[in-house]
Amino acid sequence: MYIDGKWLNSSSGETFESINPYNQEAFAIIPQASNSDIDLAIQSANHAFETNWSKTNGLKRANLLNKLADLIEENAENLAELETIDNGKVLRETKNQMYFAARNYRFFAGFADKLSGETLQLDNINIFDYTLREPVGVAVLISSWNSPIQTLTNKLAPALAAGNTVVIKPSENASVTTLELGRLIEKAGFPAGVVNIISGDGNVGDTLTKQANINKISFTGGSNTGRKIAQNASQNLIPCTLELGGKSPNIIFSDANLEGAVNGAIAGIFGASGQTCIAGSRLLVQQSIYEEVLEELVVKTNKIKLGNPLEQQTQMGPVANEKQFNNILSMIEKGKNEGIDIVTGGHKAYDDKLSGFFIRPTIIANVNNSMMIALEEIFGPVLSVIPFYDEEEAINIANHSRYGLASGVWTKDISRAHYLAKKIKSGTVWINTYRTTAVQAPFGGVKESGYGKERGLQAIYDYTQIKNVMIDLGNEARDPFSINV
């Protein structure tokens, strides 16, 4: 682990294995942080903030972030390969995510020297009033296993740009690339204690988020864990950004470009083996084109190439770990008890060449939105196809979910597109595209998909606090028992 500029094993000596989901073999040994390791990381972050980083100007912070971006690009292939081995996501995607991460650091580096307050005109003209935008202090960043570097970058880049120090805990199911990133952070020249990385299971995250001497928590992961973190944080009134689960509706109208819409539906659910919080796992298709779209979906889905995620021709790799593999298959079995109509897939991949945690891409037809399969996040390659008749029914089905992270609308009618964009309750609405990202665009959900924003200008503001300063420029003696206005 990387604490206070030093590489340390767990003080308890405990470790755990990182398993390659493609061949089910252990390929790395990861330290299990002890309570004393957690304390040391937080102390180091606080010390670095008070003595160094909070006094470092925005230009120097920007230079370090840009240097880190350079190093990530230089090491993109190695990082991508490690991440693919760690979580099974295909190499073509993990490599793109490394370059996207570098772009993120450069984007937020550009704001590091531009975080200014403002002067305010008050009713009392003798009072000079201004605000200061200041870093919050120590931020705890907990990232997910499905895209470790990308989800961490969404947090780390704005946190450092704003002048905060951090304690990072990656998921125990994919810790390797985050620890490897620590080597690049060290090489970039960040002062000791500015970035601290500890690893371990959920107990480490639980302990970490109960601490009083932290100032911000950002978490990406499941909704149940998000609730627990919010509960822990509330004991010390620590603000949180929570990027949680989703059951996103992807809506195809009869006037849509059907080839583009079907391709978008495939990418929306089977990209990353369905293991994305934004997965378009509920495909709503207008009744008049339902059979046509379903038939084309099945044809394209059955052509998806499963295989070694390190090979360029592979289009879908294994799911990330055994627990997730079993959870997905279990939810499919529960769906069968509801009488679901599986038109393709629905089982593990029976192939001698695919010995890892592979599940065939699955399409379930004629789903009723009240079914468990349509209500619960599966986080796997399972698509529920739901028919609808008109705009209002599509909106009602889309919003009938406790989640609200992302959504998609496929139509050539611009009025309809804008109407649905306003009516759908989600943090992101894609029109005639899906699973598209940009560093400038704020990302985050509503309802049980969490709160707070990542990426975009709003993200860096979430790692700052506003201080108001009032200066009386008048010489008038005031009544000490009256309120000055």
Query: Running DSSP on this structure, what letter comes out for residue 273?
Result: G
Closest of 311, 324, 322, 274 to residue 25, by C-alpha: 322
Same domain, 102 and 229: yes
- Token pair recorded at residue 170: 């990656």
- pLDDT tens, N- to C-terminus, the chain (485 residues): 999 999 999 999 999 999 999 999 999 999 999 999 999 999 999 999 999 999 999 999 999 999 999 999 999 999 999 999 999 999 999 999 999 999 999 999 999 999 999 999 999 999 999 999 999 999 999 999 999 999 999 999 999 999 999 999 999 999 999 999 999 999 999 999 999 999 999 999 999 999 999 999 999 999 999 999 999 999 999 999 999 999 999 999 999 999 999 999 999 999 999 999 999 999 999 999 999 999 999 999 999 999 999 999 999 999 999 999 999 999 999 999 999 999 999 999 987 678 899 999 999 999 999 999 999 999 999 999 999 999 999 999 999 999 999 999 999 999 999 999 999 999 999 999 999 999 999 999 999 999 999 999 999 999 999 999 999 998 888 888 887 76
Q: Quick check: is 112 in a domain?
A: yes
Same domain, 280 and 211: no
Q: How far apart are CA 210 and CA 205, in angstroms?
A: 9
Name all contacts of 288-292 with Cβ < 8 Å and 24+ positions apart: 288/254, 289/252, 289/254, 289/258, 290/385, 290/387, 292/258
Q: Quick check: is 440 in a domain?
A: no
Same domain, 142 and 58: yes
Q: How many domains does the chain have?
A: 2
Q: Quick check: is 436 in a domain?
A: no
Q: What pLDDT, on the 0 to 100 scale, is given for residue 220?
A: 98
- Strand 428-431 and strand 446-447: pairing? unpaired
Q: How far apart are CA 393 and CA 173, in angstroms?
A: 39
> What is the domain-level CATH number for residue 63?
3.40.605.10
Same domain, 213 and 306: no
| Residue 279, Cβ density class (10 Å: 0-12 exposed, 13-18 middle, ≥19 buried) | buried
Same domain, 162 and 285: no
Q: How far apart are CA 184 and CA 332, in angstroms?
A: 41
Q: How far apart are CA 273 and CA 369, in angstroms?
A: 22
Q: How far apart are CA 482 and CA 226, in angstroms?
A: 46
**Angstrom distances, CA of residue 298 to CA of 274, 342, 350:** 16, 11, 18
Asked if 216 and 238 count as a contact pair (C-beta separation under 8 A), the reply is yes
Closest of 248, 363, 382, 372 to residue 324, by C-alpha: 382
Same domain, 152 and 95: yes
Point out the residues that are catalytic.
243, 277
Rounded to two decimals, the pTM is 0.97
Closest of 242, 182, 254 to residue 217, by C-alpha: 242
Same domain, 284 and 169: no
Query: Directed axis angle between helix 148-161 and helix 91-109, to 10°?
Result: 0
Strands laid side by side in the 341-344 sheet = 341-344, 362-365, 382-388, 282-286, 249-252, 406-410, 428-431
- What is the enclosing helix (H) or strand (E) of 466? strand 464-472
Same domain, 225 and 276: no
List the domain range (segments joined by +) for residue 91: 2-244+449-469
> What is the domain-level CATH number for residue 349?
3.40.309.10
Q: Quick check: is 442 in a domain?
A: no
- pLDDT digits 0-9 by tens, 158-212: 999 999 999 999 999 999 999 999 999 999 999 999 999 999 999 999 999 999 9
- What backbone torsions phi and psi does residue 427 show, to the nearest 5 degrees? -75, -25
Q: How many CA atoms, within 13 angstroms, populate the side-chain half-sphere of residue 50?
A: 8
Q: How far apart are CA 460 and CA 454, in angstroms?
A: 8
Find the radius of gyration of the CA atoms of the chain.
24
Same domain, 148 and 21: yes
Same domain, 257 and 220: no
The residue written with tokens 């767990």 in the block is 10
**Angstrom distances, CA of residue 14 to CA of 33, 41, 167, 296, 350:** 8, 17, 20, 51, 37
Q: Quick check: is 438 in a domain?
A: no
Q: What is the largest CA-CA distance in the chain?
A: 89
Same domain, 68 and 131: yes
Q: H helices of 319-453, where?
A: 322-337, 372-375, 391-399, 414-423
| Residue 262, Cβ density class (10 Å: 0-12 exposed, 13-18 middle, ≥19 buried) | buried
Q: What pLDDT, on the 0 to 100 scale, is given for residue 476?
A: 82
Q: What pLDDT, on the 0 to 100 scale, is given for residue 352?
A: 67
Same domain, 293 and 223: no
- Strand 119-120 and strand 127-135: pairing? antiparallel
Q: What pLDDT, on the 0 to 100 scale, is given for residue 440?
A: 97
Angle at 426 between CA 421 and CA 431, to 5 degrees: 40
Q: How far apart are CA 197 and CA 204, in angstroms?
A: 12
